[in-house]
Amino acid sequence: MIYRFIKNNHAENHYQVIPEVSSEGLLIYSSIKKIKTGRIESIDLLRGTVMIIMAIDHVRDYFHNSAFLYNPEDLNHTNVILFFTRWITHFCAPVFVFLAGISAYLYGTNKTKKELSLFLFTRGLWLVFAELFILSLFRTFNPSYHFFNLQVIWVIGISMIFLSAMIYMKRGLLLVTSLLLIASHNLLDNVHVTGNNIPAFLWALLHKTGFFTFGHITFHVHYPAIPWMGIIAIGYCCGSLFNHEYEPEKRRTILLSLGVVATALFIILRYINIYGDSSPWSAQNSFAFTILSFLNVSKYPPSLLYILMTLGPALIFLALTEKPLNAFTKKITVFGRVPMFYYLLHILLIHLFALIAAVISGYKWSDMVLTTMINRSPALKGYGFNLLTVYLVWVALIFILYPFCKRFDDYKRTHRSGQWWLSYL
């Protein structure tokens, strides 16, 4: 029997065993074997999937008429389709932060701790800068910077800065610390620092969301840091599972087991309604809305139950998708390989499309130059479209983004060794 090994160009981290015809004329088939190479396709696939999902929530913010009236998770006003349009996007931020931790570990496999720490620190500073001065401009189109919304890019940056120090901890201590940050931060829910002052602002940065105005500048702390630092650290601890020397079957078994346990733990803790979320569920007027109440966990800050509900299925996804890509999944991974480029561009395009839609609807273009969140802007009262329009804009956005992301991905692949700045996008 004769075997010929060739590189599978459609699956960067696989070799394929190609059957040859033996002297007896028999075809010999074999399996695909995992080997050491560059990127992990299941990670890119998961990241790309949640990035596509994420965009619908941002389109909804800028286009849906109800975004100006009520929260889509408000059970007194929402409907099932609108609720799940928002709920499905809950998976995005935890997956981003968790995968950032895994990627940090993989990046450090051929670096010293000092080199990895410096990279995480500088990339964290870059992400905080990008949130404050690039994304704030894209979200508001207002170069006077009256309003800063501290969202997921900010918290990934802050988490990376903390992780740059945490990687020096012993692995067991880092694992315990990350689990404590995730599991125990809800004990702080009843700790309040009130007022529009620096102590209250600092506490919000750590645990409590809120709006703070200092002079002519307003900060909306949307993503407090403590639980997200736990998520990135637990991702870093899980990064060793994706080491090229790790047995693939063992990795898949561990990921699947962890995912099932996390999801089951969410269901159990949520059912008993004792700990893990500041908003208990309750029976509603219909079975469907009782399910919505059960799933309606707190994101700001992310509760223990929110983290279990989102990361559990994400781990299962990673376990089940570690296989060669097909034509469809290859396109999704393009988005997952250029996450920062995608994020910046999609925010810019959504706001630009919304400005055009506002002008067509009879508003002035200047009404889309914001000094607050779009759904709080008094100049846009009455603006917005139905949910079908939101979905159509979302689909169009993804198709428009793809060629830009594909071209940038190709550029990264061919220039990575000589362009240090590509590691920051």
54-94 pLDDT, tens digit each: 999 999 999 999 998 899 999 999 999 999 999 999 999 99
**From CA 3, how far away is CA 21, in angstroms rounded?**
9
Given this model, what pLDDT does residue 244 score? 83
Mean pLDDT of the chain, nearest integer: 90
Same domain, 63 and 27: no
Using one digit for the tens of pLDDT, what is the confidence trace for 26-45?
323 333 333 344 568 999 99
Compute the average pLDDT of residues 280-298: 97
Instruction: Using a pLDDT cut of 90, give the percent of the chain over it.
Output: 83
**From CA 45, how far away is CA 41, in angstroms rounded?**
6
Phi then psi dihedrals of residue 321, to 5 deg:
-110, 15
Q: Lowest mean pLDDT of 11-25, 206-220, 268-282, 408-422, name the range.
A: 11-25
**From CA 204, how far away is CA 206, in angstroms rounded?**
5
Same domain, 307 and 371: yes
Interior/surface letters 94-131, b for 16+ CB within 10 angstroms, e for the rest? bbbbbbbbbbbbbbbeeeeeeebbebbbebbebbbebb
Same domain, 73 and 18: no
Q: How many structural domains comprise the chain?
A: 2
Same domain, 28 and 81: no
Contact 308, 263 (CB under 8 A): yes
Same domain, 148 and 17: no
Same domain, 79 and 28: no
Same domain, 221 and 269: yes
Compute the average pLDDT of residues 266-283: 96
Same domain, 404 and 363: yes
- Bridge partners (DSSP) of residue 213 are 218
Q: What is the domain range of residue 9?
A: 3-34
Same domain, 99 and 190: yes
**From CA 76, how far away is CA 7, in angstroms rounded?**
56
CA angle 36, 37, 41 (to 5 degrees): 110
Same domain, 25 and 72: no
Using one digit for the tens of pLDDT, what is the confidence trace for 360-413?
999 999 999 999 999 999 999 999 999 999 999 999 999 999 999 999 999 888
For 27, 59, 351, the CA distances from 62, given in Å and listed in that order, are: 57, 5, 7
Same domain, 332 and 299: yes
